[in-house]
């Protein structure tokens, strides 16, 4: 565990300042005082301690707001490394990152047709290599998985794309490496990264909807990630929007995920082609329709394929209904749409907005925004932030 050079009575303030610098830097001492409600002398004293400990750097001269130009502070990226593991639907990725969440090295491996033991064996071999290569103390290992997790116990409760249940990832990895391990759901990690490090960090109430193979949401209320009683908050993909709709992977009928995910999009396109509708997508996969991917559909839409565009707009309408429900339930300032489907923004945005305007209560949506993000680094940034927040 990383320790700060400070007295216990001051540790909360020290960590508040350090986390503010990590998430908001480069930042001036006066802005830190404003954001944390600490006095400027307190911030100056804490910053000096953090500088002496090598945890932060005096980075650059900022812009003047009327007086002397401020000296901006940022995290010293070399004070620690964090290893991030992303277990996706079809592959596993292992990253060495610095304390800023910048990637130093990446390893990736296909997990299609692999057993849970095979996946864990490859992961631990890669972790061993990362630990041996590290040029700074490895502060923690963050493991990000799809589906529900017990983040306190570090258990992957159910990873639908892999099929495993109740896998105690934290205990498995900590036993081998004696390094703190944290396990998080992919959408919550992405939401954390987007909230603290990208364009929504000035907002108090945000819902991020990730639309990929499945659909999930991360919910920020009053600046904090909302987890719910059993860490299950955000399963927006399994809210039912059409009781006569198709069966979902969860066993219910008409879930948002069964109608508006990338998996649903692919299924709709393939079914339409088999029923005789024309599309360049069939030629793109040489008639092997089982090989159609969401990226094929996005590419076809970009080339003005009528079927691809029609199906994207159909998915967008269902997604708009789901987002209208989010506005009516949480009344957030912003709903952010991320994940693979965000690549098709030009084909889905108008339909989503018009559907939300039609179905959301006026006072729930009138002053709010819908934004899109195609950022690839939000999940990694969020995983690093989670780890450092805990170990510090």
| Range with the poorest average pLDDT among 17-21, 67-71, 74-78, 268-272 | 67-71
The mean pLDDT value of the chain amounts to 92
pTM of the model: 0.88
Q: In angstroms, rounded to a whole number, what is the distance separating the alpha carbons of residues 205 and 112?
A: 37
Counting residues of the chain whose pLDDT is more than 90, the rounded percentage is: 79
The predicted structure's pLDDT at residue 90 = 86
The predicted structure's pLDDT at residue 196 = 87
* Whether the Cβ atoms of residue 334 and residue 371 lie closer than 8 Å to each other: yes
Q: In angstroms, rounded to a whole number, what is the distance separating the alpha carbons of residues 27 and 221?
A: 24
Q: What share of the chain is helix, strand, coil (3-state, %, to 5)?
A: 45, 20, 30
* Whether the Cβ atoms of residue 342 and residue 373 lie closer than 8 Å to each other: yes
Question: Could you read off the pLDDT of 97-132 as tens digits, one per residue?
Answer: 999 999 999 999 999 888 889 999 999 999 999 999
Q: In angstroms, rounded to a whole number, what is the distance separating the alpha carbons of residues 369 and 199?
A: 13
Q: In angstroms, rounded to a whole number, what is the distance separating the alpha carbons of residues 217 and 235?
A: 6
pLDDT band at 201 (very low <50, low <70, confident <90, very high): low
Give me the helix-helix angle, 40-52 and 11-24, nearest 10°.
80
Q: In angstroms, rounded to a whole number, what is the distance separating the alpha carbons of residues 184 and 15?
A: 22
| Range with the poorest average pLDDT among 23-27, 102-106, 158-162, 303-307 | 158-162
CA-wise closest residue to 86 among 378, 388, 390, 392: 378
Structural domains in the chain? 6-75 (1.10.10.10), 81-191+378-391 (3.30.420.40), 200-372 (3.30.420.40)
* Whether the Cβ atoms of residue 209 and residue 327 lie closer than 8 Å to each other: no
**Residues 303, 305, 307, CA angle at the centre, nearest 5°?**
155
pLDDT at 200 over 90: no
Question: Could you read off the pLDDT of 127-166 as tens digits, one per residue?
Answer: 999 999 999 999 999 999 988 899 999 999 988 778 889 9
DSSP bridge pairs for 364: none
């Amino acid at each position: 565990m990383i320790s700060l050079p400070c007295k216990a009575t001051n540790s909360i303030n020290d960590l508040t300042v350090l986390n503010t610098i990590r998430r908001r830097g480069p930042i001036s001492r006066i802005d830190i005082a404003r954001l944390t409600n600490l006095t400027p002398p307190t911030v100056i004293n804490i910053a000096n301690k953090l500088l002496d400990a090598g945890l932060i750097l005096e980075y650059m001269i900022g812009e003047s707001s009327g007086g002397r130009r401020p000296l901006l502070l940022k995290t010293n990226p070399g004070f620690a490394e964090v290893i991030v593991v992303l277990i996706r639907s079809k592959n596993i990725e292992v990253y060495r990152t610095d304390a800023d969440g910048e990637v130093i090295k990446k390893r990736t491996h296909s997990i299609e047709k692999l057993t849970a033991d095979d996946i864990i064996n490859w992961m631990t071999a890669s972790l061993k290599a990362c630990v041996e290569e590290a040029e700074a103390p490895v502060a923690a290992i963050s493991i990000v998985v799809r589906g529900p997790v017990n983040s306190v116990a570090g258990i992957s409760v159910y990873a639908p794309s892999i099929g495993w249940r109740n896998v105690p990832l934290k205990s498995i990895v900590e036993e081998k490496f004696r390094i703190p391990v944290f396990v998080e759901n992919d959408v919550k990690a992405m939401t954390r990264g987007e909230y603290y490090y990208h364009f929504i960090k000035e907002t108090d109430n945000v819902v991020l909807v990730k639309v990929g193979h499945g659909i999930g949401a991360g919910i920020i209320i009053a600046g904090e990630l909302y987890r719910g009683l059993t860490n299950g908050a955000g399963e927006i993909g399994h809210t039912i929007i059409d009781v006569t709709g198709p069966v979902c992977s969860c066993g219910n009928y008409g879930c948002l995920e069964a109608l508006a995910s990338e998996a649903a999009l692919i299924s709709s396109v393939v079914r339409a082609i088999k029923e005789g509708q024309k599309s360049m997508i069939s030629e793109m996969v040489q008639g092997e329709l089982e090989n159609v991917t969401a990226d094929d559909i996005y590419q076809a839409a970009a080339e003005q394929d009528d079927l691809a565009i029609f199906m994207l707009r159909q998915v967008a309408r269902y997604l708009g209904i789901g987002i209208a429900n989010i506005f009516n339930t949480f009344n957030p300032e912003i709903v952010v749409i991320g994940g693979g489907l965000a690549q098709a923004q030009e084909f889905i945005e108008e339909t989503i907005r018009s559907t939300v305007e039609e179905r959301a209560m006026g006072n729930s949506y009138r002053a709010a925004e819908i934004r899109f993000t195609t950022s690839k680094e939000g999940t990694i940034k969020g995983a690093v932030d989670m780890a450092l927040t805990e170990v510090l």
